[in-house]
Chains A and B, each alone.
Chain A
């Protein structure tokens, strides 16, 4: 009987040990699944899946980047010279246009002659670039060259300035506007939240009476507890029209609106962490300063704030972390235009908002889906760096206390 109980206890303790690792396991799983889905992007062709680009065999061009392809089909690039080819005008040719050149009858009963007709069209036009489905590609025909289907590269992804995931023939997965948009909105948010939060932290740790403090503490907890979608809704119905009116803008959904909402949302984090740091200033230091004839205010900004410096920096870092990862509120108030941000008073789009807005429409496993997961990886890495930095800063803090 005793033996059975002992075995049972061992068993339960084993389960407890395993469950102790649950958070580590979860993080590992998150990493594995994010990267597994995301890294597939760099194996995807830069041309839409299931299609090829064909040029005339006389054309010396072998590679085109996804940006090149988009410019060609948007008629922005018009001469092969720009891509290292001959001085020849580019003739973009979409698959459907074949039906303008040949009557239906010449395609064969089940379109089995379609590749032949496409081949003829390509061979007869020196400057052509044709966007055709793989199954109809006139491969191996005289006068036709199938362009090498390059893969999407990390430099396309991180350096590209255009995010147009549904563009044909070449979807654009340049994340630069999203990354810059995220940084802009979060940075301005911290710029707003920091003086406000620091001031409140000083007030709470140094000036407020006990009664005032016991009123402010729960207030800040409540502020932290409001769901982000409610912040977004409030921003949408109150701040957005207000900003539009005050700054006389065509639309109120701007980076600035996002920054204000994020600033409010980051406030509780900043206040709590900074206040803790200031309260931890040793009494002896305060009293020494006061005894030397410094005023309370001088003591605060010459002694307490420098002493609490690393705690305050941890507050800033954590506040940034909160702002960068915030999804719903930003999604609802920033207007979501995936363009390079030029000013605070234009719509921008952040990384989390992009994921939230587009993942529902991206077919699972496609390049768009993979690109969104890759964005998730970027966001994950950013927040991990932030959280490790905050950890390191507060470690320095606790060492100083000894």
Chain B
């Protein structure tokens, strides 16, 4: 009897420690980057271009580039994803087609990002002739974000009570009117949450833009969607691995990593805050 209890005690302590290890890993990584990066970030770092062969200056063009890619990819992914989710939740019922679509969405979500890079290069850069550009990168990242947008939108639409729909239909509205006037507005906050999550995902991706959009260094900001851009994740990759003077570029790498983390995790935190906030609101309704 006592053996049983001791076993349990030992086992449970191990699990508690493992739980702590995971927390420790997160804090180690975040703490390390914040510790080294916080001193680097200042107004000048955020608003000037790299100088002296990447060993000085800031990361302004990379921030602008990432911003362009976020907007571009969301223009691609958001309407498509929302429409696709409307179809599967409101129209397609519960049959084989929906199951098939869901499996395909899951499969698309599990394809490694480097494959999107290859595909984007073959289709957008070479076949459609966009070249390395914002538009090619946006399409590639947009398709990558599609499963996430679809999944979050589907959840948002499903969270709208059926009584809203039947009420609207009973008042003589058509199905499309119901969706447009009733379902979408009440699902809107949760759809926005999904959008923010997708932005977080897209802004940290490197592999898809390696061959479709990203440039090592550009002296000026992009002026059209057919221009190449610098991007934060790619910038971090190149200055961390291929600089001529790694010692001198290290602080910039820490700063870039911190800015990237702030954007990505900031988006994640914002999304989970919104989810909690709006989740409560729906309940009180």
Contact = CB atoms under 8 A, between A and B. Distances in A.
A, B co-complexed: yes
Interface of A: 9, 12-13, 15-17, 19-24, 26-27, 29-30, 33-34, 36-37, 196, 199-200, 202-204, 206-208, 212, 215-216, 218-223, 225-234, 236-238, 264, 267, 271, 295-298, 300, 318, 321, 324-328, 332, 352, 355-356, 359-360, 364, 372-373, 376, 379-380, 383-384, 386-388, 391
Contacts of A200: 15, 18-19, 21-22
The 4 residue pairs across chains A and B that have the minimum distance between CB atoms = A325-B112, A227-B204, A20-B87, A199-B18
Contacts of B171: none
B91 A27 contact: no
Given A15-B83, A200-B18, A202-B15, A21 B176 contact: no
Contacts of B18: 196, 199-200, 203
Contacts of A321: 110
B205 interface: yes
Given A30-B111, A230-B33, 10 more contacts: A16-B83, A20-B101, A22-B146, A27-B111, A33-B123, A34-B119, A222-B30, A229-B236, A380-B111, A387-B107
A212 B29 CA distance: 21
Interface stretch (B38-46, B52-60, B221-229, B259-267): B259-267
B253 interface: yes
B23 A216 contact: yes
Contact of B106 (A208, A212, A219, A387): A387
B218 interface: no
A17 B29 contact: no
Contacts of B205: 227
A21 B101 contact: yes
Contacts of B112: 324-327, 352, 379, 383
B86 A37 contact: no
B264 A226 contact: yes
A176 B5 CA distance: 50
Contacts of A33: 118-119, 122-123, 127
Most buried by B among A207, A230, A238, A298: A230
Interface of B: 4-5, 7-8, 11-12, 14-16, 18-19, 21-23, 25-26, 29-30, 32-33, 80-81, 83-84, 86-88, 91-92, 97, 100-101, 103-108, 110-119, 121-123, 126-127, 143, 146-147, 150, 174-176, 200-201, 203-207, 210-211, 233-234, 236-237, 240-241, 250, 253, 257, 260-261, 264-265, 268-269, 272
B16 A207 contact: yes
B114 A355 contact: yes
Contact of A327 (B12, B114, B261, B265): B114
17 contacts: A20-B101, A22-B84, A26-B108, A26-B143, A30-B116, A199-B18, A221-B268, A225-B201, A227-B260, A230-B33, A232-B237, A234-B29, A296-B8, A324-B112, A325-B115, A356-B114, A376-B114
B21 A196 contact: yes
Nearest to B208: A327
Contacts of A384: 107
Contacts of B253: 233
Most buried by B among A30, A36, A231: A30
B122 A36 contact: yes
A233 to B, nearest CB: 5
B111 A352 contact: no
A222 B26 contact: yes
Contacts of A207: 12, 15-16
B91 A229 contact: no
B4 A23 contact: no
B110 A13 contact: no
A26 B116 CA distance: 10
A219 B269 CA distance: 11
B207 A356 contact: yes
Contacts of B84: 19-23
Contacts of A380: 111, 115
